Structure 1
Amino acid sequence: MSMKSISFLASLSLLALTFQFAIAADPSQVQDFCVATNSPVNGVSVNGKFCKDPALATADDFYLSGLNVRKSTNNQIGSNVTFGGVDNVPGLNTLGISFARADIGVNGQVQPHYHPRASEIVGITEGTVLVGFVASDQRLITKTLNVGDVFVFPQGLIHFAANVGQVPAVLFATLNSQNPGTIFVAENVFGSNPPITPALLAKAFQLNVTTIMELQAKF
């Protein structure tokens, strides 16, 4: 094979990879909006949702109230997350964004998780919160945030937030996907249905099978 042919194949491969990365995100909209509706009547399915006739769109399609309301954190984790996505704000459909409010009680946390389809920006409005994420080289990057501080979690990396102050904390988050997905590490590993074989997890985590089974029973 000639050098010219090899160069062409290399360029073609690079173009294919570039195209693959380009489509690995929420699509850009080609109209002002595509308000989601569950009815297929006179609608076109986009990202798993049907678009309402634009002429029938109202302000309520782009509206959500109640994010000022403090939510109970009386649970095992000590937090409560209110999510704003396409299911409760249908006007977000095809816009590639979503948002959330997290209430974190004293000593509470938003447990380690990741979003396979989105990066995330969080801002603190109440309290003191320790945030962090783990890079692909296993490096832990953390920061203690106070009111007015902002932090970024890169897409696909495990991250967490923990209240390290003496009062309840509140953070608001924005994600660059209408459906970012949320994979809680412990729940998905130890609470899968059906369960992952305990012996397999015992080897992966270097624990005994009994301990793994106890963890699976908790989830």
Structure 2
Amino acid sequence: MAIINLSLLLPILLLALSLSVVFAVDPSTLQDFCVTAPISQGTSICKDPKLVEANDFFFSGLHLAGNTSNPVGSKVTPVFASQLPGLNTLGISLARIDIAPWGVNPPHLHPRATEILTVLEGTLEVGFITSNPENRHFTKNLQKGDVFVFPIGLIHYQRNIGYDNVVAIAALSSQNPGVITIGNAVFGATPVISSGVLVKAFQLDRTVINYLQSKF
């Protein structure tokens, strides 16, 4: 029987743990900044620092209300690295969220970021769901000045439960957090997911599945 040398095993385990932590966040930089265009998740070639200017670190427009005249009654205005090149490799971004009375920011997830949300105006219901098998639902009603956090990769949503417009600012722990809106992804995939798969998955009649696919 082989004998495991614990003195050798411990450094290997520590190295593996450190690597898992490193790869769990956005890539770091060995210089002050890495302004790029276009953005490709931090892998683009950096712009010559001598050609970088203040506008590369500047974005204007979050004072403008988003257009919520759509079926869900909400609008997200992102400030990711694709809108603000100076964010590249810095591992942060933000967004403005506007929600009309009784509108929703539909259930979605960010595969690469935790989100922390601050309500600036209005009354907001928020919630997120934990992973299988618990699928525990955490929900809270927020007022102006309240803060709520959505852990990375978990489905979450926001709903305006008041009679005034909601304005919120979300900060995210990635320059390119990504977003997967559940309804769009499941019922609006291209090419479409077979209705037979969705009938089994959701235990719904095929006509209902076909209707949902037509809506997305």
TM-score, length basis structure 1: 0.91
Secondary structure of 2:4's aligned partner: helix
Secondary structure of 1:49's aligned partner: coil
Give the structure 2 partner of residue 120 of structure 1. Answer: 115
RMSD: 2.1
Runs of at least 5 residues in structure 1 that lack an aligned partner in the other structure: 40-44
Contact 1:38/1:50 (8 A) holds in 2: no
The 1:202/1:169 distance shift into structure 2, 3 A limit, reads same
Separation in 2, partners of 1:124, 1:18: 35
Choose the corresponding residue for 1:195, options 179, 192, 196. 192
Following TM superposition, by how much is the alpha carbon of 1:3 offset from its aligned partner in structure 2, in angstroms?
3.5
Give the structure 2 partner of residue 76 of structure 1. Answer: 71
Give the structure 1 partner of residue 25 of structure 2. Answer: 25
Give the structure 2 partner of residue 131 of structure 1. Answer: 126
Secondary structure of 1:72's aligned partner: coil
Question: Does 2:174 correspond to 1:177?
Answer: yes
TM-score, length basis structure 2: 0.92
Secondary structure of 1:125's aligned partner: strand
Question: Does 2:98 correspond to 1:98?
Answer: no
Question: Does 2:208 correspond to 1:211?
Answer: yes
Separation in 1, partners of 2:87, 2:79: 9
Separation in 2, partners of 1:158, 1:32: 34
Equivalent residue runs for 1:26-41 within 5 Å: 26-38=26-38
Q: In terms of mean alpha carbon deviation, does 8-17 or 162-171 score higher?
A: 8-17
Choose the corresponding residue for 1:66, options 61, 80, 104. 61
Secondary structure of 1:144's aligned partner: strand
Counterpart residue type for residue 34 of structure 1: C
Counterpart residue type for residue 33 of structure 1: F
Secondary structure of 2:97's aligned partner: strand
Contact 2:41/2:175 (8 A) holds in 1: no
Choose the corresponding residue for 2:165, options 163, 168, 184. 168
Runs of at least 5 residues in structure 2 that lack an aligned partner in the other structure: none
Separation in 1, partners of 2:7, 2:207: 56
Choose the corresponding residue for 2:104, options 94, 106, 109. 109
Separation in 1, partners of 2:56, 2:107: 32
Contact 1:79/1:108 (8 A) holds in 2: yes
Contact 1:49/1:93 (8 A) holds in 2: no
Give the structure 2 partner of residue 2 of structure 1. Answer: 2
Separation in 1, partners of 2:30, 2:88: 12
Contact 1:118/1:176 (8 A) holds in 2: yes
Give the structure 2 partner of residue 42 of structure 1. Answer: none
Separation in 1, partners of 2:82, 2:4: 52
Contact 1:105/1:168 (8 A) holds in 2: yes
| Aligned residues with identical type, % of pairs | 50
Q: Deviations over 1:187-214 (max 9, x none)?
A: 0001001111111111111112221111
Counterpart residue type for residue 23 of structure 1: F
